[in-house]
Amino acid sequence: MTVLVFLDSAFPDGRPADAGVPQLMINDLGVTRGDGIFESLLAVDGVPRKPGAHLDRMASSAQLLDLALPPRDAWERAIATALALHTEASAAGTGSAARAAVKLVVTRGVEGAGTPTAWVQVTAAPDASRQRTEGIKVLLLDRGYDSLAAARAPWLLLGAKTLSYAVNMAALRYVRANGADDAIFTSSDGKVLEGPTSTVVLARERNGVRTLLTPERKSGILAGTTQDALFRAAEAAGWELGYGPLVPEDLFAADGVWLASSIRLLVPVRSIDGRELPFSEALNTELTKLADAAL
């Protein structure tokens, strides 16, 4: 069951609409040019997790695309409306409202109109519990860009979460056709970047010091909201934090590697390019608890 609420200045709490019928114009730049941005966040029992971090990142994406964004409180109200409708519909029907996926989308709007199209969509979150306990197989895929491209070429929109995700989807099709579950992108100059829909996190213990690491953001990757929430919780629990540059050998030398994302949360990587990685169930449980508590 999908709940849909449009942002509409005539409706302060958002305008609910039927997601079961067509709602988008054929010449919306979101579809004709992939020209828009999005966020995906988790809601548990009707409460959105880290909405502030997602709205912050959406504002940053909008700035990179020079895209007019509806005001923040309009988003907050539309999210609340959509979650209330989803909880209501789930209680009435067979659906479960416990874990919901909330998608925020803004496109540049219909060609020539100059008004963005913006909506909130809520569906039941897919069950990722098996991946979270059993882990996944990953392939390293070249992202084509070098790690300095973001700094010198802002029109590449590196670091913006745009609707132009065809390459991310193609990467996932590629790894699945080749016996793996997910990908980690590397830059053409050999740095670890990110997954097509996730942030890379690794843990290592050296001389009694436990450190969580993630690639540096200036390499053109998306700011991971789940990775960031985990890092803050881990720091409070005594972990050291580190930010790249990282190379693939760092992944193989770590005590554990995870992909972090808002809906699936922390998923342990069990192998990369067919090479098995260290995996500790205790460490996976510890980090999962930190991430869950931090949300």
Name the site residues for a copy of itself (rule: CB under 8 A). 2, 4, 19, 21-36, 38, 64-66, 103, 105, 107-108, 119, 121, 141-146, 149, 152-158, 160, 162-171, 173-174, 188
> Which one, 2 or 271, has the nearer CB to a copy of itself?
2
Return the closest-CA partner of residue 45 out of 100, 92, 111, 5. 100
Query: Closest distance between a copy of itself and the C-beta of residue 136, in Å?
Result: 18
Return the closest-CA partner of residue 34 out of 106, 122, 102, 115. 106
Query: Closest distance between a copy of itself and the C-beta of residue 14, in Å?
Result: 14
In the structure encoding, which two tokens stand for residue 113, read together?
């109109």
Query: Closest distance between a copy of itself and the C-beta of residue 152, in Å?
Result: 6
Q: Is 50 helix (H, G, I), strand (E, B) or coil?
A: coil
> Which one, 27 or 96, has the nearer CB to a copy of itself?
27
In the structure encoding, which two tokens stand for residue 242, read together?
């580190």
Quote the radius of gyration of the chain (alpha carbons, Å).
Answer: 19
> Which one, 148 or 237, has the nearer CB to a copy of itself?
148
> Which one, 154 or 274, has the nearer CB to a copy of itself?
154
CA 187 to chain centroid: 19
Query: Closest distance between a copy of itself and the C-beta of residue 258, in Å?
Result: 22
Return the closest-CA partner of residue 101 out of 226, 228, 264. 264
Query: Closest distance between a copy of itself and the C-beta of residue 213, in Å?
Result: 25
> Which one, 86 or 204, has the nearer CB to a copy of itself?
86
From CA 240, how far away is CA 290, in angstroms rounded? 14
Return the closest-CA partner of residue 2 out of 106, 120, 165, 118. 120
